[in-house]
Structure 1
Amino acid sequence: MVTIMNDSCQNTGDLRVYQHLVYAIVYTVILVPGLLANILALWVFTIYIRETKKAVVFMMNLAVADLMQVLSLPLRIYYYLNNSWPFGHALCLICFYLKYVNMYASIYFLVCVSVRRCELIMRPLRYNGSRQKVDVVICIVGWLFVCLGCLVFPLLRNTEIDDTVVTSQVSATTPEGVCFSELPMQKINGSIAWVILILGELLGFIIPLTLVLACTCLTAGSLRKRTSRAIPDLGEKRRALRMVLSCTVVFLVCFAPYHISMPLDFLAKANTLSSCTLRDLIQRCHPFALFLASLNCSLDPIMYYFTTYEFRRRLSKPDIPDLII
């Protein structure tokens, strides 16, 4: 996200008002359905985790990542509605950091869900109880990798905010400090910045998207094959294909726009674009890309319902409470 432009561009205040309004609206829209849907998803997953091997461990972690993202929204909504952050700089950095952790954790577990569903179709006999334990290890490693990788985002922000700089950069209506996208950036070498951008795009989007697309192609191809190694049930294959296709759609709808606009947004904030009109356009479009990236926390539970038979079966069963025991 970006709100601060070069002093030569005189519409900083208007842009800030526009961005705050957009963020407040879209986060409010996401908050309630995302909260209820992910709590319900976690409840259902705990019921049938012992009954299925269809990537439920990964879907549970995906729901946790989505729920954590939703729980951070009230503070963001408060900030964008009140144009101030009275909760301290440390909490601001934590919320700022968790936003990226939850987004990239969602990407990681979407890939895991796609790979596991594809593997269960292509090589169903390889999955057993020990394999499920491996899934737990994969989840732990994934969280560690994402948490360490996302440290770069708060580290690129100044740990101390100079009030004189803030006053000159943003509206005077922020007496208690700025947060999130308006935190001032550290001054870093241009080459280092490009390395960070390229690594972020590769590891955070391009490679995961490639894996999801490959799983989609392999799963679709399995519908035309009839071998002893593959699951013979065409209905099961079709359900697996719907799941993997759903992961692909979430990637393309939610994460592709953000990862296209993020480098442009960075260039605008770094004042490397000479055109104020272009910078203004990029920074007015970027909030909608971020909205789509945040929307995945509400779309994932819809994906569970329409692509996971057990999920629908448990929601429709009248004796769910008895199964919890």
Structure 2
Amino acid sequence: MADIFTMQCKNSTFNCSIEPELYNFIFACGYATIFIPGLLTNSAALWILYNLIRKKRKALIFMFNLSIADFLHVLTFPLQILYYLYSNWPFQPAFCLTCLYFKYLNMYTSVVFLICISIQRCIFLVNPFQAKHWKQKYDIFISILVWLSVGAGCVSFVISRELYPVNHRPCFTDIRMKNVALEYLIAILTGSEMTGFILPLVIITICTWKTMQSLRKNQTFSQDKEKIKRALRTILMCTAVFLMCFAPYHINLPFYSVAVHLQHCSSLCVLSFCNGIFVLLASLNCCMNPFIYYLTADEFRKHLFRRSQRLQSSLCAI
């Protein structure tokens, strides 16, 4: 990891003021803190959502896929903790790139499925007739399409990274981007920013506006009003997770990428550290998404309550 703290740029050496020990400690503690909560909450969410889907509950397929993405991402956290504790990647570089690929896959599938949940709630609210005739297989088809398209798009993040010699193996956000042609860099940045941040932000803003508009129009019927409030709560929760977890990373990404391309060492030192912090913040969505299921899906909350009651009764019987 010495390349993060002592950089060779344009025939000159620049020493970062960030201490390697502090750097490693921050990230090791960060991923260790979210590993256990993320593993437990997503394991429980997968189990509950799977049982609900088997009972043909609607509007839960996207949540189930979101939980799968989070669970797969959480499984890479022990490897990240190990890496930051020992300041070196002990496995083959190909395995590191695989873990990095799953990190980006989780980030962007999470963004897309959060948007899918918001769009679906908004459309079902505005057009209840369509909600009655919407079939579960449509959500399954959309989910498969999301996994394939996002999976193909995330390949560019892996192939744009440099591989290092065997005696020095950085991994995850410490792997530097290749000094590629400016046109290629602009294409990657434009694609990731448009599809991963700007377009989802526009969509989620429109969904929020349409739902609030429906709430203002339906002030007479308490049942309709409560239904709109639940939909608005879902969309606002998705918006909060999106802005908190993914906005900082995408705001920092263009500056970080330009600093790498220009090899501007003083900026790169700070932006590299910020990039790692913001990727850690993006990983926090693994712990936050289960709260969306609990607070917005009535079936999920009722199922969890019944299971908790049964578990409590079993323990009391012992």
TM above 0.5, yes or no, is: yes
1:187 equivalent to 2:179? Answer: yes
Aligned position for 1:247: 238
Change (3 A) 1:268 1:241: same
Tell me how far 1:180 sits from its aligned partner. Answer: 2.0
Change (3 A) 1:263 1:30: same
Bigger RCO of structures 1 and 2 (CA < 8 A, at least 6 apart) = 1
Q: How does 1:150-189 map to 2 (within 5 A)?
A: 150-158=154-162, 160-162=163-165, 175=167, 177-189=169-181
Q: Provide the rounded CA distance (Å) in 1 between the counterparts of 2:107 and 2:88.
A: 24
Helix, strand or coil for the counterpart of 1:10? strand
Residues 28 and 81 of structure 2 are in contact (CA less than 8 Å); yes or no, is this contact kept in structure 1? Answer: yes
Aligned position for 2:189: 197
Residues 231 and 237 of structure 1 are in contact (CA less than 8 Å); yes or no, is this contact kept in structure 2? Answer: no
Q: How does 1:77-226 map to 2 (within 5 A)?
A: 77-128=81-132, 131-158=135-162, 160-162=163-165, 175=167, 177-226=169-218
Q: Provide the rounded CA distance (Å) in 2 between the counterparts of 1:9 and 1:313.
A: 60
Aligned position for 1:3: 4
Q: Provide the rounded CA distance (Å) in 1 between the counterparts of 2:209 and 2:154.
A: 30
Q: Provide the rounded CA distance (Å) in 2 between the counterparts of 1:207 and 1:265.
A: 21
Aligned position for 1:171: none
Q: Provide the rounded CA distance (Å) in 2 between the counterparts of 1:271 and 1:51.
A: 54
The number of equivalent residue pairs is 304
- C-alpha RMSD over aligned residues: 2.5
Q: Provide the rounded CA distance (Å) in 1 between the counterparts of 2:86 and 2:120.
A: 44
Q: Provide the rounded CA distance (Å) in 1 between the counterparts of 2:21 and 2:100.
A: 20
Residues 3 and 15 of structure 1 are in contact (CA less than 8 Å); yes or no, is this contact kept in structure 2? Answer: no
Helix, strand or coil for the counterpart of 2:164? coil
Q: Provide the rounded CA distance (Å) in 1 between the counterparts of 2:307 and 2:81.
A: 37
Residues 121 and 231 of structure 1 are in contact (CA less than 8 Å); yes or no, is this contact kept in structure 2? Answer: no
Residues 3 and 19 of structure 1 are in contact (CA less than 8 Å); yes or no, is this contact kept in structure 2? Answer: no
Aligned position for 2:314: none
Q: Provide the rounded CA distance (Å) in 1 between the counterparts of 2:249 and 2:199.
A: 15
Change (3 A) 1:270 1:15: farther
TM-score of the aligned structures, taking structure 2 as reference length: 0.87
Unaligned runs of 5+ in 2: 311-318
Letter of the structure 2 residue corresponding to residue 253 of structure 1: M
Letter of the structure 2 residue corresponding to residue 193 of structure 1: L
TM-score of the aligned structures, taking structure 1 as reference length: 0.85
Residues 226 and 232 of structure 1 are in contact (CA less than 8 Å); yes or no, is this contact kept in structure 2? Answer: no
Residues 204 and 235 of structure 2 are in contact (CA less than 8 Å); yes or no, is this contact kept in structure 1? Answer: yes
Q: Provide the rounded CA distance (Å) in 2 between the counterparts of 1:9 and 1:144.
A: 43
Letter of the structure 1 residue corresponding to residue 298 of structure 2: Y
Tell me how far 1:256 sits from its aligned partner. Answer: 0.6
Helix, strand or coil for the counterpart of 1:75? helix
